[in-house]
Amino acid sequence: MAKKNTNHIVETGKKSGTKEKPTKGKNLKVDSTKNIMGFEKKQLVEIMKMMIRSRIIDNKAMRLLKQGKTFFHIAAEGHEAVQMAIGLHLDSKKDWFFPYYRDLGTMLIAGVTPEEVFLGTFAKATDPASGGRQLPVHWGMINAQIPSQSSPTGTQFLQAVGTALASRRKGIKNVSYVSSGEGTTSQGEFHEAVNWASREKLPVLFVIQNNRYAISVPVEHQTAGKDGSVAEMMGGFHTLYRKRIDGTDFFESFNELKKAIDYIKSGKGPALIEANVVRLQSHSSSDDQRKYRDHSELEKDKQDDPIEKFVARLKKESILNDDDYKKIWKEINEEIDEAADRAFKANDPDPKDAARYVYDESGLKESLDYEKNVPAGEKIVMVDAINHSLHEEMKKNKDMYIFGEDIADMKGGVFTATKGLSTNFGDERVFNSPLAEASILGVANGMALAGLKPVVEIQFGDYIWPAFMQMKNETASMRYRSNNAWSTPVVVRVAVGGYIHGGLCHSQNIESIYAHVPGIFIAYPSNAADAKGLLKTACRINDPVLFCEHKGLYRQSFAITPEPDDNYLLPFGKAKVVKEGNDITVVSYGVSMWDSVFAAKKLEEEFGYSVEVIDIRTIIPLDEETIFRSVKKTNKVIVIHEDTFTGGFGAEIAARVADNCFQYLDGPVKRIAAKDTHIPYAPVLENEVLPSRQQIYLGIKELLEF
């Protein structure tokens, strides 16, 4: 590893898999009285070697691809100088790294060896970024603060802000480094991240490596910044240190990054460095830039090759001659060939492990003591049970943080679910977020990576969609794509459901869409006791949880229960038989479950039918065992829910019943759900769209009479 502060740089270390390996730069303090800008001759040669190492790895990876031995590569060629400077200023054991796919040089300085780069290239089991699960050059390390990176452009920015916020809360003095190309700054999450970091003066170093092309789109078609400058575009953030630099010049890059980091460490705010670099290869191995770039432009870029510029400086200072330079290239070529050969011979991942680590396998959730007693406290409405659960878990876990829109006192949430929390636990642990759902989830992901337990609120399920990218491609996949090295056990509380005359955008159910996302547990309680028990469990386990709270049940009389005590936990994946019966099974959840209970009682009173009603309580995991056992007993089943008929989660339940219980059925597997339309505002229209108690009654009766 290379020691990452401004007073140390890399040197050659012991043989360990490769001929040259960083060694934390011991005893290599910069002395401004020596040689070029404080660097000793030996240090400058080692910097050059690392730049060459990065270049040769790129070339080797492209040759391997052409030989059909690999499938993908993105080159850093033309970015090496600024990446060396970045790596030399930071410490991957202390600072947080959120590099983008073109950050090869930075990662070499951070401690990734050439052999480890090729383990990722060949998708080997010992690839330190993902164990072969993620594309090459999607960086990550197990023994450093470099979480596994993903492919969506810009999602990493908010996570960096989250780690910086966690550092601030923990009192840790470090820097969260995050980088991208200039094209990614068109993404809203970049602007949200700069806004959050600047507003709170967080220690975030944003480095934009501007090579002027986002695949084929030139920078002038990306940004409104003067002269195509990202730094100019961000001029409104008065606490943000901004600087445009020549990223092909190592010495300028090193000096300017030091100034930026000094500014960050002064507590004045974050910094944004726009490093103008050149892209000497195509965007990726799947691209050919000759299709959209003039030959003259490509030739001009070669004049700014950062290695050639650095070498010219060393030759001018008589530190390097042509013979030594050729010898160094030859030696490093051999080193890289050997590293690639070793990586190629390494073991492939075991196919039997392909589906592992979607969820936590540590045994934690299985070790919890569930349902220790029967809820026996004072009767309580569901929203208050949720509020009490949050208060109790905040007392138990000092690393738990709650934030979202309008959740702090005096408001305490639009439904009062978070009332009193900021008063009791302070504004550091319970606070209002910007009105930006992607920010809420992205920052929560970063905080979770740093070891905190974020429990966030999305005000309405209808507005969760800006956060979907973070939840789908980051929260849900982090454990899997990092091969169990990293996880983001964020709890996302969200109000859902209709029957409150909320119209199109205050009535949506979202569970079926998220049920399609591996890696997230989904709870959907229908009463106060279940809500409290499931939420407390969600706050304690190491998996992400989407916690759906039906607005229509918050204060509904039939959802009132005796309150459980503060040790009451409910397991995920355990359904409840709310009403036992023998003639038909009703599978439901949320408001529809209660309508099913009322319909079942009416059918029993009027006709003597014996209807069994199951509340599944959690969507993911689904308690198939309880459902199948009931269906085998009653021989008929109907699934009822509030979401739309087409693609609703009831279709999944019905399919599983058909697959596993077909021989026990005396009738078709039926479903009752909302019409396939949006939910209108007018009460008469809403009542027509959503499943009614009368519709549910008639649907159950029809199947009973089949």
Which residues are the active-site residues?
A: 506
**Assign residue 138 a region: left if phi > 0, alpha if psi is -120 to 50, beta otherwise?**
beta
Q: Are strands 241-246 and 545-550 parallel, antiparallel or unpaired?
A: unpaired
- 């031995």: which residue's tokens? 69
Q: Rounded to a whole number, what is the distance in angstroms from the first to the last CA of the chain?
A: 72
CA 93 to chain centre: 21
Q: Are strands 561-562 and 379-380 parallel, antiparallel or unpaired?
A: antiparallel
Laid out side by side, the sheet with 670-674 consists of 576-579, 611-615, 584-588, 637-644, 670-674
Backbone φ, ψ for residue 549 (5° rounding):
-120, 115
Query: What burial class does residue 316 get, using C-beta atoms within 10 Å of its C-beta: 0-12 exposed, 13-18 middle, 19+ buried?
Result: exposed
Whether 283 and 213 have beta carbons less than 8 Å apart is answered as yes
Whether 642 and 546 have beta carbons less than 8 Å apart is answered as no
Whether 595 and 495 have beta carbons less than 8 Å apart is answered as no
d(CA 232, CA 211): 16
| The pair of three-digit structure tokens given for residue 439, joined into one six-digit string | 């920010």
d(CA 328, CA 335): 10
DSSP letters, 645-675, are STT-HHHHHHHHHHHHHGGG-SS--EEEEE-
Residue (of 566, 545, 406, 426) closest to 475 by Cα position: 545
- Coil, strand, or helix at residue 143? coil
- Coil, strand, or helix at residue 620? strand
The DSSP 8-state label assigned to residue 316 in this structure reads H
d(CA 171, CA 186): 33
DSSP letters, 230-256, are HHHHTTT-TT-EEEEEETT-HHHHHHH
